[in-house]
Amino acid sequence: MRLQDKVAVVTGAGSGMGKAIATLYAQEGAKVVVSDINEASAQAVAEDIKAKGGEATFVVANVAKEEDIQNLIDTTVNTYGTVDILVNNAGIMDSMEPAGDIVDDKWERIFAINTTSVMRATRKVLPIFLEKQKGVIVNIASAGGLHGARAGAAYTASKHAVVGFTKNTGFMYAQQGIRCNAIAPGGVETNIASTMTNINHFGASRQQLGMAINPRAGKSEEIAQVALFLGSDESSFVNGTVVTADAGWSSY
């Protein structure tokens, strides 16, 4: 029970990696706040956790809205008294657009969900963490945050920003007992592809060049194990860095 009595908030927890992380955290003793834009999905995950003997509640949140993030953390504190772990998992893909084909609305939406939400949620929990001089943030970045062509330009830029934000935050608050790390998953079997529409064929053709060297796709549960390590005291000396989980794809 590596997270016994910890209070964890997981965004985008209605499916995929977020669901796997929320479920595993609960199995390890955490009280989990399951957050998702889809109420039915969030409720289903929370109910499944409780049916298996865990403790969970759900909060509907569109992380692109500042007021929803405020409500998410406020509701967590009102329900469980504090926050110990924040997992910024919610995210969407672009449609493989290269720079010349980006439209402003798409760029701004991707950054709002993938990047600005990470900042806002972090900003919201920091007073809680600073008061008790302890807290953990786990950001879900991407192999696309470390390399140039795992997606289109907007997604790639948004995840590079998450990596930089993670490193800055980890260093800035290291002496206050706060750790901030990121995970850079490679290709993982989730439903994130459902956020892709009108695929850009030129961008996709360029992106596909590297797929032949991808050893395999990952499972959400495999990423959850990394998130468990980073969320627990077992990683007490790990801070301000990115853990790559991609079966060796980026080692070529």
Distance CA 110, CA 64 (A): 9
DSSP character string of 36-88: ES-HHHHHHHHHHHHHTT-EEEEEE--TTSHHHHHHHHHHHHHHHS---EEEE
Beta-strand relationship, 178-185 and 242-245? parallel
Q: Collapse the DSSP code of 97 into the 3-class scheme (helix H, G, I; strand E, B; otherwise coil) and give the result.
A: coil
Distance CA 247, CA 164 (A): 23
- Is 80 designated active site? no
Amino acid letter at 121? A
> Which of the following is catalytic: 80, 155, 173, 252?
155
Please identify every residue annotated as catalytic. Answer: 155
